[in-house]
Structure 1
Amino acid sequence: MINFALTGFVFFGLFSPGPNVILVTASGARFGWNRTIPHILGIVVGVGVIAGLTGLGIGQVLSSNPNLFVVLQVIACCWILWMAYQLWRSSPKEVDSRDRPFTFVEALLFQWVNPKIWAVALTATAFLADQPPVSQAITLGLTFSILNLFVCSFWTGFGSLLSRLLVDETSWRIFMRIMAVGLVIFSALIFA
């Protein structure tokens, strides 16, 4: 049975701008739909695993251990700032041989330090408080993965379509720098 309250909450939590949305939009614009598929799949699997583990209680461990949580925040902030720097300095759409989208593994690993995913997953457990942990884990894992497949596909497609408007170096740099500033703003919110 579908929990519509949970589904709505998770959808809007994942669809709203955050590191994954910014990165797949930029990747769709820069590399196109097909080359961004491994990035999308890494997010989908990583987010599903994080949500499932949160249902099993790992979120409570993080919440009850402030030092571990601070370490996670610092790692997340550094990684997000590094990604913002990469977007800021990226060249126009003409991609050189060193440029590539995230791999499946890179996208999957990033979810472990993505504070937005942890926040949404921790809050989502409240919708399933009456269920046993294994049931919570399965429901959260599937809900997050399925919805995130749609969300990441949408934003990648949007970026891919947007690339048609980025016809010169100036418009390209403006777009990538807006994406980079979005990541910097999000990194500051980690500690808020």
Structure 2
Amino acid sequence: MIDPLYLFVFAGLFTPGPNVILLTASGARFGFRATVPHILGVAAGVGVTSALTAMGVGALLLAMPVLKLTLQVVAAGWILWMAWKLLRASRTALGPARHDRPFTFLQAVLFQWVNPKVWMIAMAAASGHASGLPPGWEALRIGTAFSGINLFVCLFWTFAGTLLAWLLTTPAAWRVFTGVMAAALAASGLMVFLV
């Protein structure tokens, strides 16, 4: 029988959020291979963030409203900045503009610290799907579940973006695509205050 934690994590991470939007856009703009460091960084960062949440960091955020508000403001600011960059992104017939590049591994890991969707899902998993293990083992269980499942989610959405690029054959199509992705990313940045 499948542990309900895995189903919960899959449903939470597969649905669109900042990571899904950024990876789909990166797959379309830069291709699958160039996005691999971003994929690996997201999988690692989500695992670490969820493990720390299971160890009590999530409860600390809830207990300290100033810390939570600080994290929300930083998260919203960073996500809105990335949405602006995506909206302004240009693509030539030969690919992205020379100054554009996908996330590095470290950037993707660090982004998980301000990704409101990851925090929300991790807090729900830690509180609703605990198995009664000692804290360290519980953190390992939740962290590996998040990291492993999210790796496949990231691979799927990046590949979907790569396939989507085949349909984006004109500058107008690219402008619509980047506009839609930037708007969705901006909306997820504003939703940080609802968590």
- For the aligned pair, the TM-score class normalised by the smaller chain equals over 0.9
Q: CA deviation at 1:137?
A: 0.5
> Partners in 1 of 2:167 and 2:116 — Cα distance?
32
> Partners in 1 of 2:61 and 2:157 — Cα distance?
30
Q: CA deviation at 1:92?
A: 2.3
- Please tell me the residue identity of whatever aligns with 2:63: S
Match of 2:158 among 148, 156, 160: 156
> Partners in 1 of 2:104 and 2:50 — Cα distance?
21
Q: CA deviation at 1:187?
A: 1.4
Partner residue, 2:33: 34
> Partners in 1 of 2:186 and 2:137 — Cα distance?
36
Question: What is the TM-score when the length of structure 2 is the normalising length?
Answer: 0.95
> Partners in 2 of 1:129 and 1:150 — Cα distance?
24
| Consecutive aligned runs of 4 or more in structure 1 exceeding 4 Å deviation | none
In the TM superposition, what are the counterparts of 1:101-180 in structure 2 within 5 Å? 101-125=102-126, 126-128=128-130, 130-180=132-182
Partner residue, 1:20: 19
Q: CA deviation at 1:172?
A: 0.7
Partner of 1:167, secondary structure, is coil
- What whole-Å deviation, never above 9, does each CA across 1:159-183 have from its counterpart, x for those lacking one? 0000000000001110111000001
Give unpaired runs (5+ residues) of structure 2.
none
- What whole-Å deviation, never above 9, does each CA across 1:71-118 have from its counterpart, x for those lacking one? 000000000000100110111253222110000010000001111100
Partner of 2:133, secondary structure, is coil
Contact 2:38/2:108 (CA < 8 Å) preserved in 1? yes
Aligned length: 191
> Partners in 2 of 1:54 and 1:190 — Cα distance?
17
Partner residue, 2:69: 70
Partner residue, 2:97: 96
- Please tell me the residue identity of whatever aligns with 1:92: R
- What whole-Å deviation, never above 9, does each CA across 1:36-95 have from its counterpart, x for those lacking one? 000001101100001111111111111111100000000000000001001101112532
Contact 2:91/2:97 (CA < 8 Å) preserved in 1? no
- Please tell me the residue identity of whatever aligns with 1:117: V
> Partners in 2 of 1:129 and 1:187 — Cα distance?
32
- Please tell me the residue identity of whatever aligns with 2:99: R
